[in-house]
Structure 1
Amino acid sequence: MNREIMTFDNVGLAYRRSLNPFSEKNWVLKDISFQLYRGEVLGVIGRNGAGKSTLLRLLAGIIAPNQGSISKERGIRSQLLTLNLGFIHKLSGFDNAIMSLVTQGKTIKEAHELVAGVIDFSGIGHLMDHSVSTYSAGERARLGFAIAMQATPDILLLDEMLGVGDKEFKVKSGKALKERVQSDQTAVLVSHSPTTIRKFCERVLWIEEGAVKALGPADTVLDEYEETAPTRGNSPSKTTTATAA
């Protein structure tokens, strides 16, 4: 296993349903602990509302935890790709691409040089001068994934991004991610598809009701996760045997 580049130590995130500072906190994530290693693709799985997308926002540094600590190597950059991408919708696809590349550490000159690659990979060159507000969810996903392929962040955070778009783009994005993984790209992949997780990940973090249900080898964790399928509408009652890796 390669060296650790990010560590979560008993991380928790909560919010209050009212502005009253004495109101009860609602914990979205509770006592989350794990390490992310350079060059690995860590899968994250769990039912809707388990806290997976919130975990990615913490990994991206978009929000900060209420308890515990998150440490990472100095200079590490991460990029979150989700269907709710942080595009400025009134701007064009071209302008959003430039802005995203610059925020990932590229110079203006470098960003302009890389846009050709974004256009080629996304396959939506005819839309690049149009406002992103006119894009479909699939077209925004194409643009976001294409930007990430050019931005080369240290940690690529993918929230269901390999399950969008037409069949051709799914194959193309999957192939691109596989090539990145083989070239030592570190990534965290959230997906409801055990098949997708098995394809790309060696380790899996299973989250239920904001807590770690299991962390370990992909096959071990996913086998147990799939066994709970009939009861996943509620919290699984089965006790996992997967151990932290």
Structure 2
Amino acid sequence: MTEQVERYKVELENVSKRHNIYDRPIDRLKEVVLRNRKSFHREYWALSDMSVKFENCTTAVLGPNGAGKSTLLQLVAGVMRPTYGTVTVRGRVTAILELGAGFQPDYSGRENVLMNGMMLGISKEEMLERMDSIAEFAEVGEFFDQPLKTYSSGMGVRLAFATAISVDPEVLLVDEALAVGDERFINKCNQKVRELQEAGTTIIVVTHNMRIVDRFCQRAVLVNEGRLIAEGTVDEVRPIYESVMAQTDYKQKAFVAPAATAVF
């Protein structure tokens, strides 16, 4: 039983996530005033009854746009709660979900790093000890003590990456392949990812870039329309993924075809 638990640091069991979609802002207020006696929203299920376990390796989460991939990562990160089901995460989890996620734009890079570490349960003293190495890795120079809102997009992502890897995560989440700088810096990040892999870190990455998948990932999970379609090794999931993407591309072309035909 212990070996089974240790094999999986992340588990989703019968997880569903619903979003309420309002056509107008006032519709949300109407529900509050009427104490939900009347509904003014449409339900959108980003995930539906999903059960999946992530092994202690690097797993790619694949699927077309709007499939539910980012929602899955946000649930694992604890950014949102499932409507139904259970999400279990064992160990310290850090996430690079999007530029600035979890960062305060009016605070300096140094202040943001300190707050993020303390939110993960790391003492202020320990974060202060790591501060110089984080600043050095992020390569933001004097901007480290400037408000985050003055950063370029690349600087923000580099700081987020440097912070995430500095806290010795047991689970690392990355949403999309982020451009974090020039080739030299990317190689430095790749080396750090290799070190995390060797240390047994569970890494879950959402990406459309199959070169990244082939280079770093041992397993893959395929999601479409909020449901788990396939899971297994990268080679096992690849043909199913390619088929789903081909169908999605066909549907998108079919959707715009009538307008194009009408013009001519």
Q: Pick from 57, 64, 68: which aligns with 2:74? A: 57
Q: Which has the larger radius of gyration?
A: 2
Q: Pick from 40, 49, 58: which aligns with 1:31? A: 49
**1:42 maps onto 2:59 in alignment:** yes
- Aligned residue for 1:26, secondary structure, equals strand
- Aligned residue for 2:197, secondary structure, equals helix
Take 1:234 and 1:158, find their aligned partners in 2: how far apart are those partners?
A: 29
Instruction: Kindly report which structure 2 residues correspond to 1:211-222, keeping only aligned pairs within 5 A, or say none.
Output: 211-222=227-238
2:18 is matched with which residue? 14
Aligned alpha-carbon RMSD (Å): 2.0
Take 2:160 and 2:17, find their aligned partners in 1: how far apart are those partners?
A: 27
Percent of residue pairs identical:
30
Q: Pick from 170, 184, 199: which aligns with 1:183? A: 199
Equivalent pairs counted in the alignment come to 233
In the TM superposition, residue 113 of structure 1 has moved relative to its aligned partner by 0.7
In the TM superposition, residue 162 of structure 1 has moved relative to its aligned partner by 4.5
Take 2:177 and 2:105, find their aligned partners in 1: how far apart are those partners?
A: 19
Q: Which 4+ stretches in 1 moved above 6 angstroms? A: none
In the TM superposition, residue 223 of structure 1 has moved relative to its aligned partner by 3.2
Gaps of 5+ in 2: 23-27, 253-264
On the 8 A contact 2:109/2:144 being kept in 1, the answer is: yes
Q: With the length of structure 1 as denominator, give the TM-score of the two structures.
A: 0.88
Structure 1 or 2: more helix by fraction? 2
2:173 is matched with which residue? 157
**1:128 maps onto 2:132 in alignment:** no
1:77 is matched with which residue? 92
In the TM superposition, residue 188 of structure 1 has moved relative to its aligned partner by 0.7
On the 8 A contact 2:62/2:208 being kept in 1, the answer is: yes
Q: List per-residue Cα deviations over 1:59-107 (Å, max 9, x = no partner).
A: 011111111222344xx22111123321100011111111112212221
On the 8 A contact 2:9/2:202 being kept in 1, the answer is: no
1:171 is matched with which residue? 187
On the 8 A contact 1:30/1:210 being kept in 2, the answer is: yes
Gaps of 5+ in 1: 237-245
On the 8 A contact 1:11/1:70 being kept in 2, the answer is: yes
Take 1:190 and 1:154, find their aligned partners in 2: how far apart are those partners?
A: 18
Take 2:173 and 2:70, find their aligned partners in 1: how far apart are those partners?
A: 10
Q: List per-residue Cα deviations over 1:88-145 (Å, max 9, x = no partner).
A: 0001111111111221222111111101111111111221011100111111110011
